[in-house]
Amino acid sequence: MSDNMYSKFLKLVILVFLLVNLAKAQNKTDFFVEKPFQVPSYLLNNAEKLAKNLAKDQDVLDEKEAEEMYKNSFYILKERVNTGELYFSNELTDYLTKIVDDLLLNEGSLKGKIRVFLTRNPQANAFCLPDGTILVNVGLLNILENESQLAGILSHEITHYKKHHALNQRKKNKDLKDQKYSNTSSEGVLFKMLSYSRENEFESDAGAVNILNGGKYNAAEYPNALKFLMEEQKDTLKGSLSDFFNTDVFTVDTAIVSKKNIKKELNKSVSRSKSLLKLGDVEYETHPDGEKRILAVKEILTSIEYKEPAKLDNTEFANLKRKAEFETVENAYLEGEYITALLLSLKLKEKNPTSETAEVMIVKNLFWLSRLKENGVMNDFLGKVEVNKSADMARLKLFFDKTKAPDLGKFLFTYTKKQLERFPENESIAFYVAAAAELHLGKDAALVFYKKYNSKFPIGNYSVYIKNKID
């Protein structure tokens, strides 16, 4: 990395760190605690030198060709670092590293060649770059139930590396030969790089069982992990929008979110595969091979000498999963994906009914959505929201599309006020009540609430902003 690039990179790290920590200052136990500036040394490598060394170490491709591929893959990784997409070191990154170390205990030849990084991506997925870097999206934790399932997914990714699938795939796809890395198409390069054949997927599934069996993890959990990855919606909302949104003065118009309308919305949605182009390892999607892969793994499990390990304590996994769920919502919010973030925060509320953090998240997302409506840009915004076969997404999309701006404002204001009654000491909610008042009732009405905030939280996160408003 050049000095100039490095200082730019550090600035970004600082910015992301500050932003995220500002948002989390109030509720430490719900989020990961990120240790600052612990950039893993692997990421500070020189791309050319690294690619050269790796290319010498393989015999699938012509050395020059392999070098090009490794270089691309390393650039993609660094790009993700530069955009702040990776977490550097928190309790989940440590945990993932520990699992990978456990899995490699009997894989002597892979020692020191595999490393794992955690991304902020809310999509449940993981993938392995050709250089042995495994990227795990924080959203993966949301759909898994235990450590063995996570270890299973990691073993699958390890096998992709172990069997040189990326290199073999490159050898097959000669159309990739002249694919050079460029800033604009890195996602496309990544996608092509990791479009493994079905044989590769079956082989990685078998390899995963092989790595798991006989170790501390339960290989019989692997097909469950695959099943969860392939299911479209594991946990949908149990409650209706009326259960969540009705206040004393606002009632959700149920005609808007009728079954018929939801069905129409779902039919409109583009096929899911399209949106997955940007996500990396594509095998987990609504793939026709999904069912077959699960069956194949189950067959393998009955044909091998399956060793059931001692039961693992699930406390650490459960604790990290809970934090990952909160992180995922916050990440979706910071990305401006308010509908997704709202849906996830409603799910969090169902799971943690008394959680203040979940409520703050609901309030924040409702506020920004109402603001989009008030500013007349809701249509543009919703046009980009992918429903992805989720009836819950369709329901929320319809609600914000069809509820008129004044009604939405009324809803936002009364809803946030109701939440402040539940959590009178919560600074964020106090702020959003004032902001909602400004949006719905105008500046003068909002002043009352801004002043209330400032007398209660004289040195709060929003004090400076509010002082400027009042003066």
- 283 touches Zn ion (CB under 5 A): yes
Note whether 74 and 47 are within 8 A (CB): yes
d(CA 198, CA 204) in angstroms, rounded, equals 10
CB-wise, 155 or 390, nearer to Zn ion? Answer: 155
d(CA 429, CA 434) in angstroms, rounded, equals 9
Residues 40-99 close enough to bind Zn ion by CB under 5 A: none
> At its nearest, how many Å lie between Zn ion and the CB of residue 290?
12
Q: Considering only CA atoms, which of 156, 329, 278 is closest in space to residue 229?
A: 156
CB-wise, 160 or 410, nearer to Zn ion? Answer: 160
d(CA 298, CA 411) in angstroms, rounded, equals 50
CB-wise, 221 or 325, nearer to Zn ion? Answer: 221
CB-wise, 265 or 285, nearer to Zn ion? Answer: 285
Note whether 269 and 389 are within 8 A (CB): yes
Mark the segment that binds Zn ion (CB under 5 A) among 17-25, 71-79, 279-287, 354-362.
Answer: 279-287
CB-wise, 197 or 355, nearer to Zn ion? Answer: 197
d(CA 380, CA 382) in angstroms, rounded, equals 6
> At its nearest, how many Å lie between Zn ion and the CB of residue 276?
13
> At its nearest, how many Å lie between Zn ion and the CB of residue 58?
19
> At its nearest, how many Å lie between Zn ion and the CB of residue 52?
27
Residues 189-228 close enough to bind Zn ion by CB under 5 A: 204
CB-wise, 204 or 345, nearer to Zn ion? Answer: 204
Residue 395, SS3 per DSSP: helix
CB-wise, 47 or 60, nearer to Zn ion? Answer: 60
CB-wise, 18 or 295, nearer to Zn ion? Answer: 295
Q: Considering only CA atoms, which of 73, 61, 80, 71 is closest in space to residue 9?
A: 80
Mark the segment that binds Zn ion (CB under 5 A) among 59-67, 134-142, 277-285, 326-334.
Answer: 277-285
Interaction pattern, residues 231-270, with Zn ion; x per rule: CB under 5 A? ----------------------------------------
> At its nearest, how many Å lie between Zn ion and the CB of residue 281?
5
> At its nearest, how many Å lie between Zn ion and the CB of residue 155?
11
Mark the segment that binds Zn ion (CB under 5 A) among 72-80, 228-236, 276-284, 370-378.
Answer: 276-284
Residue 293, SS3 per DSSP: helix
Query: Total residues contacting Zn ion (rule CB under 5 A)?
Result: 2
Q: Which residue is nearest to Zn ion (CB)?
A: 283
> At its nearest, how many Å lie between Zn ion and the CB of residue 381?
34
| 229: exposed, middle or buried (Cβ count in 10 Å: 0-12, 13-18, 19+) | buried
Note whether 77 and 129 are within 8 A (CB): yes
d(CA 36, CA 254) in angstroms, rounded, equals 47
d(CA 147, CA 112) in angstroms, rounded, equals 22
* Residues 6 or more apart whose Cβ sits within 8 Å of residue 159: 165, 203, 204, 206, 207, 208, 210, 211
Residues in touch with Zn ion (CB under 5 A)? 204, 283
